[in-house]
Amino acid sequence: MEHSSGPTNIVDEFMQSNLLQAEWVLYFLVFIFVLCILVMLVKAAWFVVNAVRAKALSARVNVLLADGDLDGFGKDVEEMQGAEAWVIRHGLRYRANGSDVVEKQFEVAQVTRKVRMERGIVFLGTVGANAPFVGLFGTVLGVIKAFRDLSIDSEAGAQAVMSGISEALVATAVGLMVAIPAVVAYNYLSRQVKSVMSRSDALNEQVMLRLRADSAST
């Protein structure tokens, strides 16, 4: 009897604790949903602004290819904003070490910038993958509570159990409601990161063409 009393006490304590209530799971999912919305808005706005800045940088790179003024280009890039400009600015600081070093620094800067751009996006992917399971966890808690209530008040019958289960299923629905937009936003923002990286590669290559031409002429 001593061996069986321990587990029984643990189960009884759990059944009587607030952890059995599914409401806290719903509040947690709502909190995560609000965070996801904030991350979506902030990241989407950043990519829109960065695209505008990239157009300005692309126009300046075209001017560089036409006039070959690397010094003037370097000064202008120092004042420009955006991920692509940041990468080029970092690489050009090693211009005195040769074009090969500049190219390697472009690659290093791109990796660093990609990690920074992916901040928040990874959070969306994590939420999208796990929110349904959190909702399912809330549903399981709700079902347990429904059967516990039935054991306490058996007169309520099956109607009370079905009512409790239907309420518990709300947690699964909320989990899906959180996960679906998070997955959509994750896929969209991941494509935006790839677009920025591709655009950065193209601009870096144009600058490298000018650098190699300048090195060959000297």
* Backbone CA torsion sign across 199, 205, 209, 214: positive
Tell me how crowded residue 148 is: count the other CB atoms within 10 A of its CB.
13
* CA–CA distance, 56 with 40 (Å, rounded to integer): 25
Q: What is the pLDDT of residues 148-203, one digit of tens each?
A: 766 666 555 566 667 667 777 888 899 999 999 999 999 999 999 999 999 999 99
The domain limits of the chain are: 15-217
pTM above 0.85, yes or no: no
d(CA 130, CA 25): 13
> What does each C-alpha distance from 47 to 82, 111, 113, 164, 203 come to in angstroms?
9, 17, 13, 45, 17
Is the Cα torsion angle 163, 169, 171, 177 positive or negative in sign?
negative
Q: Sorting pLDDT into bands at 50, 70 and 90, what band is 34?
A: very high
